[in-house]
Amino acid sequence: MAFEGLSERLQNVMNKIRGKGKVTEDDVKEMMREVRLALLEADVNFKVVKDFVKRVSERAVGQEVLKSLTPGQQVIKVVKEELTELMGGEQSKIAVASRPPTVIMMVGLQGAGKTTTTGKLANLLRKRYNRKSLLVAADIYRPAAIKQLETLGKQLNMPVFSLGDQVSPVEIAKQALEKAKQEHYDYVLIDTAGRLHIDEALMDELKQMKEVAKPDEIFLVVDAMTGQDAVNVAQSFHEQLGITGVILTKLDGDTRGGAALSIRAVTNTPIKFVGMGEKLDALEPFHPERMASRILGMGDVLTLIEKAQAAVDEEKAKELEQKMRTATFTLDDFLEQLGQVRKLGPLDEILKMLPGANKIKGLNNIQIDEKQISRVEAIIRSMTKEEKTYPEIINGSRKKRIAKGSGTSVQEVNRLLKQFDEMKKMMKMMTNIPKGKKKGFKFP
Ligand code: GDP
């Protein structure tokens, strides 16, 4: 996961100061020395580090901290606020043209993730905002790019506008815009040509396209794994083309995070989205405050809730809640719930979004065994409908049959039944239904 080293180091520094009832100037100096090192090691631009340290130091030895009742906590608050500010402060939203379609040019170097991100963005616009996008294949130089976008379009069940690789990108953009206007698309996402390096020919072509397409946004897609290089690329593109936002990809990898922390400060353009994986739903709007919170180990509950809302079917969730309340929750429901949780993404990533998760020793090294969950699912699937509803009828021979059917052991079946039983007892305790009303309910 990105930021791991930085996050750990900053948290160690914060832990030292957290409980302090009195914070002296020397304490702040000592702390800032460590913060500075941590940021430099995370590959944050040195000038950015210098400014950051200066700002935090000034505030931390100022009145707002010294006069407060919990100076240690107050210093941490300052660090979090400044970290948020460094990454852009407020969340920067995607533009909406006053007259549709909103035109977005996707630019970037080859391999940064531009084509994939074009697909992801269209997917996000549809899922979150119910917006219809036309994908435009204007990268005519990389042989596979058009095909790649067309494949993404098929996966997403979205149209891709292409005129092959013999028509100029500017012409492609022109015709795509016509089509989008006529057919009332909300967004036009143009996948432009990438090169291995920034060169004049590329910039000229992009400038021409900008003239013609008059984009509402020019998003630069950069690879977070390339650290300071990403910052340099962003700066050059910005100077020559004038970008309106950055999409940072591969933040799921173990990047040290320097790019995310420097880009805004160096280029003065906001990071709008971050890529968190190869799948088409792995693009998230970038929230500076939430990211600061994650880095400082304070969790990111809001993103977790949003993920849950996107993944979980609300009707089903209500139904499950009702079942839990009335204690009519069966193993079938449990199976359903496991499926929903899985949709949220890899469980170890999810756990890390919880506040205080960093305090659980070794969480970073925990490999949640997704196979274990598959085994539980297999056990439940091997039961009959009756067994799933009334697990108490599962006797020795039934257990043997279930274990055999699911490729597990009788011990594992026993363990699951015991856990389920305990879960139900807990639900009953929590539901607290008035006695008289319990009658009509079924307790399997
Ligand atoms: P382009 O040359 O800029 O169009 O790059 P592509 O879209 O072809 O992407 C290059 C590679 O990066 C592909 O293998 C993508 O699957 C991968 N990729 C893109 N975004 C992400 C991301 O956020 N996380 C990870 N892990 N891989 C990504």
Q: What's the 107 CA to ligand 1 centre distance in angstroms?
A: 13
Neighbouring-strand partners of residue 223: 249
Residue 32's DSSP bridge partners are: none
Contact 209, 105 (CB under 8 A): yes
| Residue-by-residue pLDDT tens, the chain, 444 positions | 678 888 888 888 888 887 777 888 888 899 899 999 999 999 999 999 999 999 999 988 877 776 776 777 888 888 899 999 999 998 888 999 988 999 999 999 989 999 999 999 999 999 988 999 999 999 988 878 999 999 999 999 999 999 998 999 999 999 999 999 999 999 999 999 887 777 888 889 999 999 999 999 999 999 999 888 889 999 999 999 999 999 999 998 888 888 889 999 989 999 999 999 999 999 999 999 988 888 887 776 667 667 766 666 667 777 777 776 676 778 888 888 777 777 776 666 666 666 666 555 555 555 556 777 888 889 999 999 999 989 999 999 999 999 999 999 999 999 999 888 887 777 776 655 454 444 434 433
- pLDDT at position 5 is 85
Same-domain check for residues 71 and 129: no
Q: Is the Cβ atom of 275 under 6 angstroms away from ligand 1?
A: yes
End-to-end alpha carbon distance in the chain: 43
What is the residue with the minimal CA distance to atom 20 of ligand 1? 113
Please check whether residues 369 and 413 belong to one and the same domain: yes
Residues 73 and 125 in one domain: no
User: What is the CATH classification number for the domain harbouring 29?
Assistant: 1.20.120.140
Q: What is the C-alpha separation between 296 and 198, in angstroms, rounded?
A: 35
The verdict on 147 and 233 lying in the same domain is yes
Instruction: Give the distance (Å) from ligand 1 centre to CA of residue 222.
Output: 10
Q: What is the widest separation between alpha-carbon atoms in the chain?
A: 80
Ligand 1 centroid – CA 17 distance (Å): 40
> For ligand 1, is residue 118 a contact (CB within 6 Å)?
no
Distance in Å, CA 345 to ligand 1 centroid: 18
Q: Whose CA is nearest to atom 11 of ligand 1?
A: 113
Are the C-beta atoms of 167 and 158 separated by less than 8 Å? Answer: no
ipTM of the complex: 0.98
Residue set of the binding site: 108-115, 191-195, 249-252
* Centre of ligand 1 from the C-alpha of residue 278, in Å: 6
Task: Note if the bond before 215 is cis, omega within 30 degrees.
Answer: no
Same domain, 362 and 279: no
Predicted TM-score (pTM) of the model is 0.74
In which residue are the tokens 């494949």 written?
151
Where in 372-442 does DSSP place strands (E)?
none
Strand order across the beta sheet in which 271-275 lies: 160-161, 133-137, 187-191, 102-107, 217-223, 245-249, 271-275, 283-285
Name the domain count of the chain. Answer: 3
Q: Contact, 61 vs 78, CB < 8 A?
A: no
3-state secondary structure of 183: coil
pLDDT at 369: 65
- Residue 226 Cβ inside 6 Å of ligand 1? The answer reads no
Instruction: Pick the residue whose CA is nearest to atom 16 on ligand 1.
Output: 278
Judge if 82 and 116 occupy the same domain: no
CA 240 / ligand 1 centre spacing (Å): 24
Q: Examine the domain organization and report whether 108 and 248 are in the same domain.
A: yes
Mutation to probe ligand 1, out of 196, 276, 278 (largest number of atoms < 8 A from CB): 278
What's the domain range around 209?
A: 102-286
Residue 111 Cβ < 6 Å to ligand 1: yes
Residue 274 DSSP label: E
Interval between CA 430 and ligand 1 midpoint (Å): 46
DSSP assignment letter at 42:
T
Q: Do 420 and 344 share a structural domain?
A: yes
Nearest-angstrom CA–CA distance, 141 and 194:
8
Domain boundary among 251, 286, 321: 286
**Closest to 15 (Cα-Cα) out of 297, 357, 362, 360:** 297
Which one-letter DSSP state was computed for residue 144?
Answer: T
Q: Is 270 in the pocket of ligand 1 (CB under 6 A)?
A: no
Q: Considering the domain boundaries, does residue 442 fall inside one?
A: no
Residue 424 backbone dihedrals phi, psi, to 5 degrees: -70, -35
Q: Are residues 281 and 389 in the same domain?
A: no
Question: Residue 112: CB within 6 Å of ligand 1?
Answer: yes
CATH of the domain at 141: 3.40.50.300
State which ligand 1 atom lies nearest to the alpha carbon of 253. Answer: 26
Same domain, yes or no: 84 and 115: no
Q: Is the CB of 210 under 6 A from ligand 1?
A: no
Q: Using a CB cutoff of 8 Å and minimum separation of 24, what contacts does 323-329 make?
A: 324/427, 324/431, 325/431, 325/433, 326/431, 326/433, 326/441, 327/424, 327/427, 327/428, 327/431, 327/441, 327/443, 328/441, 328/442, 328/443, 328/444, 329/423, 329/424, 329/427
**Other C-beta atoms within 10 Å of 326: how many?**
18
CATH number for 426: 1.10.260.30
Nearest atom of ligand 1 to the alpha carbon of 120: 20
Q: Are 76 and 118 in the same domain?
A: no
Select from 246, 249, 255, 286 the residue to mutate for testing ligand 1; criterion: most ligand atoms less than 8 Å from CB. Answer: 249
**Which amino acid does the sequence have at 373?**
I
| Pocket lining: 250 vs ligand 1, CB cutoff 6 Å | yes
In this structure, is residue 275 part of a structural domain?
Answer: yes
In angstroms, rounded to a whole number, what is the distance separating the alpha carbons of residues 428 and 426? 5
Q: By C-alpha distance, which of 138, 183, 133 is closest to 159?
A: 133
Alpha-carbon distance of 39 to 256, in angstroms, equals 9
405 part of a folded domain: yes
Regarding the beta carbon of 139 and ligand 1, being less than 6 Å apart is answered no
Q: Are residues 327 and 411 in the same domain?
A: yes
